[in-house]
Amino acid sequence: MNAHCPVVVPDPEIVLRNAFHPLLLLQNNKAGRKTHPQDISMTPEARMLVISGPNAGGKSITLKTVGLLQLMCQSGLLIPASPESRLGFFHAILTDIGDHQSIENQLSTYSYRLKRMKYFLDTANRRSLVLLDEFGTGSDPDLGGALAEVFFEELYNKRCFGVITTHYSNIKLKAAKLKHAINGCMLFNRETLEPVYRLSVGEPGSSFTFEVAEINGIPVDLIQKAKSRLSEGKVKMDALLSSLQEEKTRLEQLTEQAREAARSANQAISEYEKKREKYEDRLRRQQDTIERNNKFLIHGKKLLQFIEKYHLRSANKELIEEIRKYLAMEKSAIETARKEKNIKKELDKEKGKALRRTKSAEVIKVGSLVRLRQTKQTGTVLELDGNQATVAFGNFKTLLDIAKIDWIR
């Protein structure tokens, strides 16, 4: 199990990336089962997360993952999550998880939860994290649901952070109406009738009551009889939520397929570009060879002409003068070509510098991370003045031409 230190921020915030419940991860690793990571984001703009979905779909594990990793971080422990995760500090973590029925104290689960809720309402503030599992259960569904909705509003008004798991539709609807609350659901595969154990944020989820019942062997005729006793609106609402969740799962699959297709296309383009550059380089070398061979052929023909004009018993003054002029002319042509090549090289170099200066000037801003091209050192831009930038390399500051640095991010 890889554990990392998240980015710790002063204000309340929970952003977990590829996060695992440590005990679940260890247990699944021993059993050879896969553990699905969670991505959970809670900020002041979305500080109350209401999670719905089927039983045994992972709602409670997701809630406990948030609470446990937050406690681990505040205790100075590394957490099983990406180092890109960010966690703030809370003065109080208020939890109501599990069945608290007590024979000894003659206290029912619902009575206990009411006492806990009173304590939460008295204690919670913007520096509190509230974790409520199966919020509102333990009493008459309609009456308990109405009271749970009022409690939810009161906790929301106290500006605290919270993760709440529930099956109550009115809590889901209330989360959709409140500005800084957000719904989430645990995904469920209707084709295989199995939970996906992945949180999807943005809409409430169906409890998949009848699907879960079918998984557990309840006869279909009994399930149909139960459906017939529900109001038509309730059945349609649950069916709509199930359909929306199924559609979102399908869209996520299509999106992933599109991403994979894009990755394959980019890889193919990259390979094509490499092959194209290779073939163009080979073509340039072939053309250079052809030009060089043509020059040798021309010089060879000229040499043959000189040989034919040469007389063994003659001074060959005119021929020698013709050869001298020819050699001088060829030498001059070679020198001219070399100078033109050097001039072109310098012009290309200056154009490259100008292009880099223009590009850098457009991209590099104050606060940009840059790399010094000559030494590969990285630094941060503190000031910009035209084509000049003041860059800090650790404690050392220096003024540089923008053309000498490359933008990183």
Q: Is 140 helix (H, G, I), strand (E, B) or coil?
A: coil
Give residue 102's domain range.
7-229
Residue 103 has pLDDT above 50, yes or no: no
In a domain, 244, yes or no: no
Candidate from 73-77, 268-272, 342-346, 355-359 with smallest mean pLDDT: 355-359
Crossing angle of helices 22-31 and 59-74, in 10° steps, is 120
Residue 154 has pLDDT above 70, yes or no: yes
Residues ≥6 apart with Cβ < 8 Å to 363: 407
Q: What average pLDDT score do residues 19-27 get?
A: 91
Candidate from 83-97, 167-181, 195-209, 318-332 with smallest mean pLDDT: 195-209
List, for residues 48-75, the tens digit of each pLDDT value: 999 987 776 788 899 999 999 999 999 9
**Confidence band (pLDDT; 50, 70, 90) for 78?**
very high
In a domain, 395, yes or no: no
In a domain, 263, yes or no: no
| pLDDT of 269 | 84
List, for residues 191-208, the tens digit of each pLDDT value: 665 667 778 887 776 666
In a domain, 252, yes or no: no
| pLDDT of 106 | 45
Q: Which of 146-155, 264-273, 320-329, 394-403 has the highest mean pLDDT?
A: 146-155
H-assigned helices in 158-196: 169-177
**Confidence band (pLDDT; 50, 70, 90) for 121?**
very high
Residue 100 has pLDDT above 70, yes or no: no
List, for residues 358-399, the tens digit of each pLDDT value: 555 667 888 888 888 777 788 888 888 877 888 888 777 888
For residue 188, what is the domain's CATH number? 3.40.50.300
**Confidence band (pLDDT; 50, 70, 90) for 136?**
low
**Confidence band (pLDDT; 50, 70, 90) for 92?**
very high
Residues ≥6 apart with Cβ < 8 Å to 226: 210
Residue 149 has pLDDT above 70, yes or no: yes
Q: What average pLDDT score do residues 111-119 get?
A: 85
In a domain, 220, yes or no: yes
Helices and strands counted in the chain (H then E): 9, 15
Q: Where are the beta strands (DSSP E) in 202-278?
A: none
Residue 233 has pLDDT above 70, yes or no: no
Integer Cα distance of 75 and 53 in angstroms = 31
List, for residues 206-228, the tens digit of each pLDDT value: 666 666 677 677 787 887 777 67
* Strand arrangement, sheet containing 405-407: 396-401, 388-393, 378-385, 369-372, 405-407
In the chain, how many domains are there?
Answer: 1
Sign of CA pseudo-dihedral 247, 248, 251, 257: negative
In a domain, 181, yes or no: yes
Q: Tell which wins on pLDDT, 306 or 70.
A: 70
Candidate from 123-137, 182-196, 223-237, 308-322 with smallest mean pLDDT: 223-237
Q: Tell which wins on pLDDT, 91 or 101.
A: 91
Residue 300 has pLDDT above 90, yes or no: no
Residue 240 has pLDDT above 80, yes or no: no
